[in-house]
Each structure stands twice: as structure tokens, then as C-alpha cells.
Amino acid sequence: MTTYKGINGFAVQSVASDPSPLDEGQVWYNNATYAFKLAGIQAAAWASGGTLGTGRTGLAGAGTQTLAVVFGGDVPSESALTEEYNGTSWSPGGNLGTGRDQLAGCGTQTAALAFGGNVSPQTQTEEYDGTSWTSGGSLANARRQLSGCGTQTAGLAVGGNPNPGSYGSTTGVEEYDGTSWTSGGSLPAPASAAAIFVAGTQTAGLAAGGFLGGPTTTNLTNEYDGTSWTAGGNLNTARSSGAAAGSQTAGLIFGGSVTEPGASVKNTELYNGTSWAVGTDMITQRRNLAGAGTQTAGLAVGGVSTVVLNSSEEFTGASVATKTITTS
């Protein structure tokens, strides 16, 4: 007769508490709860998060899934509103000095950076300390529909649209040191893009998608080493105007538009440093949203579907989780 011990070389352990860390396929008996348990894969999923005080599109975000901040946007005119998230609910923060949408952000909830956007001039930078915003060094090149990553003292501004009222895109990249912006390595053509997805750090950045100065979107991916960009694996779905989170080797992108402008989508993709894999769709399709967090704990905020949204969604990546074995 085949037994568990015969297959695996050891018997099912009887323990007083569940083991940690878990190995997929591990089986044990918890003698405190009188239950057989199994370590199995918990599928990735999006779940509803807290509701913004004010719904808006074209906003920017920073921080983590449980300590996030979003700012700016259109409601329907350029907004200076800031809201902070504690993993459950949103509360008001200090207003931006200048209201704007189509801006970029990076950093943390208590040390965020806001730059560019649909405001005159489109070079404005502001720094947040968790309470209020103060002026920072101006971008060298005006732009809206740009993207950013990194920290308040080591930020990266990528791409964007230098034209105030029409289509356009730029290869321009700038780096922030906490005081001023300087030129970084330019995106390679034809990857110059506005409304591009960007994640990572100033010296290990990830840029994907975007639109190329017109309605056509791209699926190109490029990786930054602090000096220059090299090609990465292509997106499965070309798009722009979504959000990104995570790092160069564990990236997450979600939402956006397949054409610019166009209908919102709820597609999710995950990057492993080489290629993109299709992930679980968001609950609600949305574009021009804000993103924060990591590949395994992402946050999608606001944006527009058929209407401007005040909802947020939380992404939990696939993981090994404890499951109780039952006879049903």
C-alpha cells in the first residue's frame, strides 16, 4: 500500500503551530486546532480598496500599498488635492502649491516628489514631507504626460509630451538629486513615449509602453542602469496611460488605453527582468490612474473608465498559503 511516507520519505508531522516559512506541497497536522493542513498556491488577485474623498483622473502617486499618497489630477479642472492611504481608508493631506494633472510622482508617503504636468510652466517640482508641499528644483524641460520613479532625493523623470495642447513625445530623461534636475540617458528611438509605464529606481529603472507622439501605442520595454537604456522584453499588449509599480526585475503594470486616446482597459502584466507575463485583470478598467507599491502588493487609484473614478484596488501576487484539508 502506497503511503505518504513512502512517496516523500518522511511522515506527516504533528505540530502545535503552523510552520513558517512554507514550502509548496508541504502537509502537516496542527494538534492545537486538530486539522490537517497543506501549503498551496494562493492565486494572484485584485480586491477593492478604500474610496478616495474626491475622484479624479490624471493624478500621480507614491509609496506602498499600505502607506500611499496621491496628488493632483483633474476633477474636472486641475486639482491641488493630496490624499493619504493607510491600507484601509483615504484621508486628506496637504495641498500641492499648484494644482495640475498629467503629472508624475515618486518616493514615499512622507517623502514624495511631484513634477511636471498640465500646468504653466510644465517644469514645476514640489516635495512633500507628509504634511505640506514645498518648491523643489525645476525640470530642465517642460512636459506633461510624463512618468517617474525613484525617491525624493534620487528621482527619475521619463518621457512625456512637451506640447501643451497637442500630441507629442520626447526621449528626454532627467535625474533629481533632491535639489536640482540634470540630464540622464535618453530613451532610444522609437521608444520615445508619452504616458509611459515606469517603475524601479534612478539607477535601475523600467520603462514600457506609451504612445509615440500620436494615437499609436507601443509594446517596447527598456531598462535603465543610471546611464543608458537597453531593450527588455516586449509587453503582451501595447498601451499607454496606465500605472506601474515594483522594480526593474519585478515590475507590475495595470490599466491604460490600447489607443491614445481610447477606451480604458483592465489588463495587468508582470515583469521578471526578462519577459512580461499576463496577470489577473483589475476589477474595473481604468486609464490615467495613479499607481504605487510592489509587484506582489500593488495599488491602483482613481483614473477614468466611462466616468471619473474615486475607487482604489489592491493587488496581491501569487503566494504560498496555508489551506485546511477537509473531506468536502
pLDDT at 83 over 60: yes
Q: Which residue has the higher pLDDT, 169 or 64?
A: 64
Kindly report the pTM of this predicted structure: 0.87
DSSP state of 76: S
- pLDDT tens, 219-258? 999 999 999 999 999 999 999 999 999 999 999 999 999 9
What residues does each domain of the chain span? 4-42, 44-318
pLDDT at 113 over 80: yes
- pLDDT tens, 139-165? 999 999 999 999 999 999 999 999 887
Cell matching residue 51: 474610496
pLDDT at 308 over 90: yes
Compute the distance between CA of residue 250 and CA of residue 17 in angstroms, rounded to an integer: 32
Percentage of the chain beyond pLDDT 90 is 74
DSSP state of 121: S
Question: Once rounded to an integer, what is the mean pLDDT over residues 17-36?
Answer: 82
pLDDT at 215 over 90: no
Compute the distance between CA of residue 30 and CA of residue 239 in angstroms, rounded to an integer: 48
User: Mean pLDDT across the chain, nearest whole number?
Assistant: 92
pLDDT band at 8 (very low <50, low <70, confident <90, very high): low
Question: Once rounded to an integer, what is the mean pLDDT over residues 71-87?
Answer: 96
pLDDT at 263 over 60: yes
Fold of 44-318: Neuraminidase (2.120.10)
pLDDT band at 328 (very low <50, low <70, confident <90, very high): low
- Give Cα separations from 91 to 135, 170, 239, 302 (angstroms): 23, 35, 31, 14
Asked whether the beta carbons of 314 and 46 are under 8 A apart, the reply is yes
